[in-house]
Amino acid sequence: MADHYDVLGVDRSATPEEIKKAYRRLARELHPDVNPSPEASERFKDVTHAYDVLSDPQQRERYDLGPQAGFGGGGGAAGFGDIFDAFFGGGGGGGQRQGPRSRRERGQDALLRLEVDLEEIVFGTQRDIEVDTAVLCETCSGSCCAPGTSPQTCDICHGSGQIQRQVRSLLGNVMTSSPCGTCRGYGTVIPNPCPTCQGQGRVRARRTIPIDIPAGVDTGLRLQLPGQGEVGQAGGPNGDLYLEVKVRHHETYSRNGDDLLATLEVQMSDAILGTETTLDGLDGAVEIELKPGTQSGDVLTVRDRGVTKLRGTGRGDLKIGVQVVTPTKLSHKERELIEKFAAGRREQAPELSQFQQGLFGKLRDRFLNF
Ligand SMILES: [Zn+2]
Ligand SMILES: [Zn+2]
Give which of 285, 363, 356, 366 is closest to 324, Cα–Cα: 363
Q: Which of the two residues, 276 and 361, has the higher pLDDT score?
A: 276
Do 241 and 260 lie in one domain? The reply is no
Do 222 and 324 lie in one domain? The reply is no
Determine contact, residues 283/305, Cβ cutoff 8 Å: yes
User: Does 272 fall in a domain?
Assistant: yes
pLDDT at residue number 68:
46
Residue 350 one-letter amino acid: P
pTM: 0.60
Q: Which of 83-87, 296-300, 340-344 has the highest mean pLDDT?
A: 296-300
List residues, by chain if needed, whose CB lies under 5 Å from ion ligand 2. Answer: 154, 156-157, 180, 182-183
- CB atoms near residue 206 (< 10 Å): 9
SS3 at position 53: helix
Q: Which of the two residues, 298 and 88, has the higher pLDDT score?
A: 298
Do 322 and 206 lie in one domain? The reply is no
Do 129 and 240 lie in one domain? The reply is yes
236 Cα: distance to centroid of ligand 1 (angstroms): 13
Do 238 and 299 lie in one domain? The reply is no
Backbone angles phi, psi at 237, to 5 degrees: -65, 155
User: Does 64 fall in a domain?
Assistant: no
Do 233 and 264 lie in one domain? The reply is no
Across the range 267-292, mean pLDDT stands at 94
pLDDT at residue number 358:
56
Q: Which ligand is nearest to the CA of 161?
A: 2
| Exposure string over 251-274, b if 16+ CB within 10 A, otherwise e | eebebeebbbbbebebeeebbeee
User: By residue range, what is the domain housing residue 45?
Assistant: 1-55
User: Does 329 fall in a domain?
Assistant: yes
Specify the CATH number for the domain of residue 262. Answer: 2.60.260.20
Q: What string of H, E and C letters represents the secondary structure of 146-162? A: CCCCCCEECCCCCCCCE
Domain boundary among 55, 70, 85: 55
Backbone angles phi, psi at 46, to 5 degrees: -60, -45
User: Does 319 fall in a domain?
Assistant: yes
330 Cα: distance to centroid of ligand 1 (angstroms): 79
Q: Which ligand is nearest to the CA of 142?
A: 1
235 Cα: distance to centroid of ligand 1 (angstroms): 10
Q: Which ligand is nearest to the CA of 186?
A: 2
187 Cα: distance to centroid of ligand 2 (angstroms): 5
pLDDT at residue number 176:
81
233 Cα: distance to centroid of ligand 1 (angstroms): 10
Q: Which ligand is nearest to the CA of 180?
A: 2
Do 332 and 307 lie in one domain? The reply is yes
Question: What's the pLDDT band for 342 if we cut at 50, 70, 90?
Answer: confident
pLDDT in tens, 56-66: 888 888 888 77
DSSP 69: G
Specify the CATH number for the domain of residue 5. Answer: 1.10.287.110
SS3 at position 254: strand
Q: Is the pLDDT of residue 94 over 80?
A: no
Domain boundary among 216, 247, 278: 247
Q: Is the pLDDT of residue 89 over 80?
A: no
Across the range 204-225, mean pLDDT stands at 93
